[in-house]
């Protein structure tokens, strides 16, 4: 259970995301719903096969933007706890690059918060992915 | 005056460095920084119109003066998640 006063946890990590630890962060006796989103590296995009994704960030700004989004989401969706972790560096196929977990007294809030957070993360948080394909070519994704 | 500008992702790779020093007027705005960087790195000039500028880790509009900023960063379209 999380007894800390700050209901928000935001992290950038360089290794696999430890979801077990995050589960205890969003636990609270007064919530009735935990909601999770795991964004993972997909192997196939159209006819291209991805070998790895690699992420870089403007780290201090990414932390500050993630905190801003987290505070807005907590207020907007009446979340009890919220954790957002983004991985940087190489993320192999099938592993998570981003994990968002949130808890709230009722399910509707967590169902609504997750897409809102991911949409805004993809729009404003200064993190970039570079795709490397099995044919050896690579490209930065800027869209 | 000379200012350092942080570069990321495709911009960083094209410039082959993570910081570029450019010469701008003391009254320069965020938009002036974008124009100067497009001239300095012509290989990515096409990407510049879709970039944003952040002063001290905060997005600003193109008319914002840069004079009092401690850190200037060019933020290409992001692709986290």
| CATH code assigned at B25 | 3.10.20.30
What average pLDDT does this structure show over A100-105?
98
For A42, the domain range is 8-136
What average pLDDT does this structure show over B32-55?
94
Q: Is B65 on the interface with A (CB under 8 A)?
A: no
What average pLDDT does this structure show over B66-78?
97
Neighbours of A135 (CB within 10 A): 9
Mean pLDDT score of chain B: 95
Interface residues of chain A, partner chain B, Cβ below 8 Å? 39, 55-58, 60-62, 64-65, 86, 97-98, 118, 121-130, 140-143
What local confidence, expressed as pLDDT, does residue A1 receive? 57
- Report yes or no on whether pTM surpasses 0.90: yes
- Pick from A66-75, A122-131, A132-141: least confident: A132-141
Does residue A141 lie within any of the structural domains? no
DSSP string, A36-103: EEEEE--SEETTEEEEEEEEEE-HHHHHHHHHHHHHHHHHHTT-SEEEEEEE-EEEETTSEEEEEEEE
- Alpha carbon A32 to chain centroid, angstroms: 22
- Examine the pLDDT at A14 and tell me if it is beyond 70: yes
- Examine the pLDDT at A92 and tell me if it is beyond 90: yes
pLDDT higher at A52 or A14:
A14
Tens-digit pLDDT profile for residues A25-66: 999 999 999 999 999 999 998 889 999 899 999 999 999 999
What local confidence, expressed as pLDDT, does residue A46 receive? 87
Chain B CB contacts of A122 below 8 Å = 78-81
Does residue A113 lie within any of the structural domains? yes
Most B-contacting residue of A37, A40, A45, A58 (CB-CB within 10 A), to test interface: A58
Does residue B50 lie within any of the structural domains? yes
If you search the block for the tokens 């950038």, which residue do you land on?
A: A12
**CATH number for A119:** 3.90.1170.40
Does residue B21 lie within any of the structural domains? yes
Rounded Cα distance, B12 and A105, in Å: 45
What average pLDDT does this structure show over A84-88?
98
Rounded Cα distance, B65 and B79, in Å: 27
* DSSP label of A125: S
- Examine the pLDDT at B74 and tell me if it is beyond 60: yes
Length of chain A measured in residues? 143
For B34, the domain range is 2-75
Give the pLDDT band of residue B44 (cuts 50, 70, 90): confident
What SS3 class is residue B6?
Answer: strand
Q: Is B63 on the interface with A (CB under 8 A)?
A: no
- ipTM for the complex? 0.95
Count of structural domains within chain B: 1
Tens-digit pLDDT profile for residues B5-31: 999 999 999 889 999 999 999 999 999
Does residue B80 lie within any of the structural domains? no
Chain A CB contacts of B76 below 8 Å = 128, 140, 142
Most B-contacting residue of A40, A62, A142 (CB-CB within 10 A), to test interface: A142
- Examine the pLDDT at A13 and tell me if it is beyond 80: yes
Question: What distance in Å separates residue A90's CA from the closest CA in chain B?
Answer: 13
């Amino acid at each position: 259970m999380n007894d800390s006063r700050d209901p928000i946890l935001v992290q950038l990590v360089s290794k696999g995301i430890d979801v077990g630890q995050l589960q205890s962060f969003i636990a609270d006796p007064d919530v009735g719903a935990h909601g999770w989103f795991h964004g993972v590296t997909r192997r196939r995009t159209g006819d291209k096969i991805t070998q790895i994704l690699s992420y870089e960030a403007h780290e201090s700004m990414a932390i500050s933007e993630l905190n801003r989004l987290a505070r807005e989401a907590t207020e907007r969706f009446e979340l009890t706890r919220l954790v957002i972790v983004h991985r940087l560096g190489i993320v192999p196929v099938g592993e998570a690059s981003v994990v968002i977990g949130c808890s709230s007294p009722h399910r509707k809030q967590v169902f609504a918060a997750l897409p809102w957070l991911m949409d805004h993360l993809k729009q404003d948080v200064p993190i970039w992915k570079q795709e490397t394909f099995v044919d050896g070519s690579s490209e930065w994704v800027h869209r | 005056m000379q200012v350092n500008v942080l570069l990321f992702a495709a911009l960083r790779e094209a410039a082959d460095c993570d910081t570029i020093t450019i010469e701008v007027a003391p009254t320069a705005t965020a938009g002036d920084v974008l124009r100067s960087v497009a001239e300095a790195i012509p290989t990515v000039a096409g990407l510049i119109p879709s970039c944003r500028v952040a002063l001290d880790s905060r997005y600003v509009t193109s008319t914002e003066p840069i004079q009092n900023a401690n850190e200037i960063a060019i933020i290409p379209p992001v692709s986290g998640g």
